[in-house]
């Protein structure tokens, strides 16, 4: 059955049970624009970062035309998160299309799976704005300087607090989206019919999604630490950064664990069948030897050799649902920033700054 047309902007048309949020509707509109979504996200990031710089130039807290990497990151963060969600949604839709032969779902089931993978619930953005305000208030209680960004001037500080609220909301929406989407991957794997160990392309489908999601998380964490390196100057800050990177490994592995278990079960079934046939062939061969029936012994020997080759082949079949080498790449993506963070912290203590 061909994959149904993706229609994220109008989920009700497909009879979906997960109505999309305004973020999903925005994505659908941007996909239909002539300039494309990435130009819009990039322009929005430039405008927000530029507006934030403008307020600091007007107040005199930043000399014109001096640029600040911290202000640039603060202004561009929310568009970066929205662009990341948009990009990962496309990866998820393509992954589901590749997995479709194993899913064996009706058109409606396919569309529901697509909706769970690529849409946010309608109340999520409103709830995110409320919780984002609470999150922002908590951050200000813990760090009244807001990472040293507040200047004491009304215009730039008001703009910073507004963008801080938007960014806090983006963080919470991003975390909710992450948990929702990766849980949907596990649900899709559990709903699949019989898995085929001989056809690996569908089995690898969602490993690209979980890998891309983990890489984006690593990049966001690493960029934040690069922009605000003082976060590594305390053991809790370093521990939080390392823990965040380690959790990206869970983003990659946990959604695929259920399919791994299913593939292991199928491999065990195939090996059990092969070994039963080997046992039956050996028993028959023993009977022929006892009866001195040499006429069919060569045929039995060839049959046994074929069964042993089958057992050896089945024993080598993969049950981890990702292509060879991808897991090592994932370890490198996570391990390199951790090594650099620890090295930076060690050098700071050694050199005394």
pLDDT of 109 reads 85
**Residue 222 neighbours by CB under 8 Å, 6+ apart:** 337
Please state, in angstroms and rounded to a whole number, the distance separating the CA atoms of residues 83 and 55.
25
**Residue 66 neighbours by CB under 8 Å, 6+ apart:** none
Q: pLDDT digits over 242-259, tens only? A: 888 888 989 999 999 989
Please state, in angstroms and rounded to a whole number, the distance separating the CA atoms of residues 153 and 215.
38
**Residue 267 neighbours by CB under 8 Å, 6+ apart:** 197, 314, 317, 319
pLDDT band of 14, cuts 50, 70, 90: very low
pLDDT of 58 reads 93
Nearest by Cα to 281 from 308, 304, 299: 304
Please state, in angstroms and rounded to a whole number, the distance separating the CA atoms of residues 202 and 95.
8
Q: pLDDT digits over 330-345, tens only? A: 999 998 888 888 887 7
Full DSSP string of 265-299? HHHHHHHHHHHHHHHHHHHHHHHHHHTT-GGGHHH
- Does pLDDT of 73 surpass 60? yes
- Three-class DSSP category at 20: strand
pLDDT of 5 reads 43
pLDDT of 17 reads 44
Q: pLDDT digits over 205-255, tens only? A: 999 999 999 999 999 999 998 899 888 777 777 788 888 888 898 999 999
The values of phi and psi at residue 240, to 5°, are -65, -40
pLDDT band of 289, cuts 50, 70, 90: confident
Nearest by Cα to 207 from 338, 86, 318: 318
Please state, in angstroms and rounded to a whole number, the distance separating the CA atoms of residues 114 and 109.
9
In the chain, % of residues over pLDDT 90 = 41
| Dihedral-angle region of residue 104 (phi above 0 means left; psi in -120 to 50 means alpha; beta otherwise) | left
| pTM listed for this prediction | 0.85
| Dihedral-angle region of residue 100 (phi above 0 means left; psi in -120 to 50 means alpha; beta otherwise) | alpha
The answer to whether 260 and 248 have CB atoms below 8 angstroms apart is: no
**Mean of the pLDDT values across residues 106-124?**
86
Q: E strand or H helix at 152, and its extent?
A: none
pLDDT of 284 reads 81
The answer to whether 81 and 221 have CB atoms below 8 angstroms apart is: no
The answer to whether 160 and 150 have CB atoms below 8 angstroms apart is: yes
In the chain, alpha helices (H) = 22-31, 37-59, 69-103, 107-118, 124-142, 154-191, 200-203, 205-227, 235-290, 297-315, 326-351
The pair of structure tokens assigned to 212 is 């891309």
Q: 88-101 b/e with 16+ CB inside 10 Å = b?
A: bbbbbbebbbbbbe
């Amino acid at each position: 059955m061909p994959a149904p047309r993706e229609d994220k902007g109008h989920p009700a048309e497909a009879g979906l049970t997960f109505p999309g949020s305004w973020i999903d509707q925005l994505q659908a509109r941007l996909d239909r624009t002539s300039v494309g979504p990435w130009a819009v996200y990039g322009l929005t990031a430039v405008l927000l970062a530029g507006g934030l710089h403008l307020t600091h130039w007007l107040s005199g807290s930043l000399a014109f035309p001096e640029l600040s990497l911290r202000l640039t990151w603060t202004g561009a963060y929310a568009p970066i998160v929205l662009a990341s969600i948009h990009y990962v949604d496309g990866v998820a839709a393509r992954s589901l299309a590749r997995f479709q032969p194993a899913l064996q779902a009706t058109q409606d089931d396919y569309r529901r799976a697509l909706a769970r993978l690529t849409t946010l619930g309608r109340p999520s953005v409103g709830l995110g704005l409320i919780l984002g305000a609470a999150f922002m208030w908590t951050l200000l209680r813990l760090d009244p300087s807001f990472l040293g960004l507040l200047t004491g001037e009304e215009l730039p500080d008001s703009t910073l607090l507004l963008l801080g609220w938007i960014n806090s909301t983006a963080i919470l929406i991003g975390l909710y989206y992450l948990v929702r989407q990766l849980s949907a991957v596990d649900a899709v794997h559990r709903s699949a019919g019989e898995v085929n160990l001989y056809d690996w392309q569908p089995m690898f489908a969602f490993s690209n999604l979980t890998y891309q999601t983990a890489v984006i998380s690593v990049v966001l964490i690493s960029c934040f630490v690069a922009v605000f390196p003082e976060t590594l100057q305390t053991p809790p800050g370093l521990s939080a950064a390392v823990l965040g990177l380690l959790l990206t490994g869970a983003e990659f592995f946990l959604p695929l664990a259920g399919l791994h278990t299913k593939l292991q079960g199928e491999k065990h079934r195939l090996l059990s069948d092969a070994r039963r046939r080997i046992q039956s062939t050996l028993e028959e061969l023993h009977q022929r030897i006892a009866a001195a029936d040499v006429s069919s012994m060569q045929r039995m020997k060839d049959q046994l050799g074929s069964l042993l080759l089958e057992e050896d082949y089945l024993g080598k079949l993969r049950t981890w649902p990702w292509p060879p080498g991808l897991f090592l790449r994932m370890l490198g993506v996570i391990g390199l920033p951790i090594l650099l963070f620890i090295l930076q912290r060690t050098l700071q203590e050694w050199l005394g700054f």
